[in-house]
Amino acid sequence: MKSPLPSAGDFNQLRAFVAVASSLNFSRAAENLGVSSSALSQMVRAFEERVGVSLFNRTTRSVSLTEAGARLFERVRPAVEELAGALGETRERRAHPAGTVRMHCFRTAADLYLTPILRAFSDAYPQIVLDITLDDAVVNIVAEGYDVAIRLGEVIDKDLIAVKLGPELRQTAVASPDYLSRHGTPAHPRDLLAHRCIGWRWPGQKTPHKWEFMENGKWFEVAVDGPLISNMKDFGVQAAIDGVGIAFASQQLIAPHIAEGRLVALLERWSAPFPGYYLCYPAQRQMAPPLRAVIDAIRGGSREGDGVEAARSSAATRLSLGGEEAADQPERHDDQRAGEGPAADLADRVEAHIGDRADEAQRRFPEAARRQAEEGHGRADQERDQEQAHENAEERTAEKTLGATAIGHANPLRIDVRDKSDPA
């Protein structure tokens, strides 16, 4: 018959017993445990009553183990020390995060939010391995085993926590001066049907992506045609520079070429902004320290340009408070803190966009729906926080007598680059 697992009270009494048995001095043991001598004496007495035998011989001048106490001490001391070491190692891992974080990231987003922080992050967290897949396919990050992703706000699953990283994006049609001199300049998006356009195909799709424009507050699409289709936006932009046709890409890709006169922006009146990049991850009660470090670094980098230092400062603050309760609250309204007015406008635009394109509702994720879903998570998290506060209180008590175990280093980076491009 299996013995029942010890309760939290059993463990505290065992710690008290081992502390006294090790020093044979109640005052010294109480000081080591951070409790009063009377409280320790009561705990040991309660433990003796629980096991049904006397464990110590007490006099006014000395303390010694009884035969039963000596046998128990011999058996439980290694187990208690092993448990203390395991808890100490767990705390050390929180103070010095270690492990692998798997990330799925759109290619253009990697240039904006990952490349700038990689060196500093690797130096600050040498025991964290970043396993990054650069790929513009819209995958189920939970089913595919990813911990976190960076993707466009329109393609975020509603059950994920989403944190806004940057401003809205805007795609614009562009062509080279040479092409325009030979084929003329379109005056309206519908004129693109008579032009040679460079198509882009979303990963996993068989047909090219339709170009999207806005008129009178409503989105509409143009199914363009032309001599070239690619799954890489930068490849299409270069083809436009070479005079092959008209391309459609984000300001990030085309702005330098427009400034240098290699490309000319077209139809800007109909090019409206849409939700930019978001950091998204599954809601979870206790976030692993390596994942928390990655999230803090990316968020800090997108705001301050010094995300790694911000992440380390945040981690240090959580440790000084004895837990990660505050840090693990989902940042569901991060976009509102960045600017409540633009966030509200963004929600209205996304809702209108979804209404006009019901056939793509499964792929497009409206901002307003995301917030509604997040509010539901928030109510559940309040109940979880109460439980977590109690658990952390017990953890802080147990950790007072525990040592820390050093952990080794790991290779810092592993990146899997696939030959695909996101629509930005």
Fold that domain 8-95 belongs to in CATH:
Arc Repressor Mutant, subunit A (1.10.10)
Asked if domains 99-164+277-340+356-417 and 171-270 share a fold, the reply is yes
Predicted confidence band of residue 94 (pLDDT cuts 50, 70, 90): low
Please tell me the predicted confidence (pLDDT) of residue 98.
87
| pLDDT computed for residue 316 by the predictor | 43
Sole residue written with tokens 């979870």: 284
> What residue ranges do the domains of the chain occupy?
8-95, 99-164+277-340+356-417, 171-270
Find out whether 349 and 355 touch, Cβ atoms under 8 Å.
Answer: no
- The DSSP bridge pattern shows strands 413-417 and 171-175 to be unpaired
**In sequence order, what are the residues at sequence separation of 6 or more whose Cβ sits closer than 8 angstroms to the Cβ of residue 272?**
170, 213, 214, 219, 349
CATH class of this structure's domain 99-164+277-340+356-417: alpha beta
- The domain 171-270 having CATH identifier 1.10.287.3510: the answer here is no
Provide, rounded to the nearest whole percent, the portion of the chain with pLDDT above 90.
41
Distances (CA, A) of 290 to 95, 126, 262: 10, 11, 44
Contacts of 334 (CB under 8 A, 6+ apart): 163, 164, 299
Pairing of strands 171-175, 63-65: unpaired
pLDDT in tens, 99-151: 999 999 998 899 999 999 999 999 999 999 999 999 888 889 999 999 999 99
pLDDT at 9: 62
Measuring CA to CA, how many Å separate 227 from each of 191, 198, 246, 262, 403? 17, 7, 10, 20, 68
Q: pTM for the complete prediction?
A: 0.56
Partner residues linked to 229 by β-bridges: 199
